[in-house]
Amino acid sequence: MKTNVGKLDQTIRYLAAIILALVAILTNLWWLLIPSVILAFTAAVSFCGLYRVFGINTCKFDPNDQ
């Protein structure tokens, strides 16, 4: 699986996941945990399926291109 999520994108995804999780807990909108988990997972594995579909790559260094 090729990485297509760069460091800045990863950081933004982690921050968005934390914010969504906090909003979900504070407002009892538990369904917001679903996109929060998805954002955290895609940041952790540095891969986004939607980016692949649309041909987006925010990763500056691709270890698979050697």
For the stretch 41-62, pLDDT in tens is 999 999 999 999 999 999 886 5
- pLDDT (0 to 100) of residue 63: 58
Label residues 5-35 b or e (16+ Cβ within 10 Å = b).
beeebbeebeeebeebbeebeeeeeeebeee
User: Residues 22-27: what's their mean pLDDT?
Assistant: 97
Residue 2 confidence (pLDDT) above 90 = no
- pLDDT (0 to 100) of residue 62: 54
Q: Give pTM, 2 decimals.
A: 0.85
Residue 65 confidence (pLDDT) above 60 = no
Distance of alpha carbon 41 from alpha carbon 33, whole angstroms: 12
- pLDDT (0 to 100) of residue 64: 59
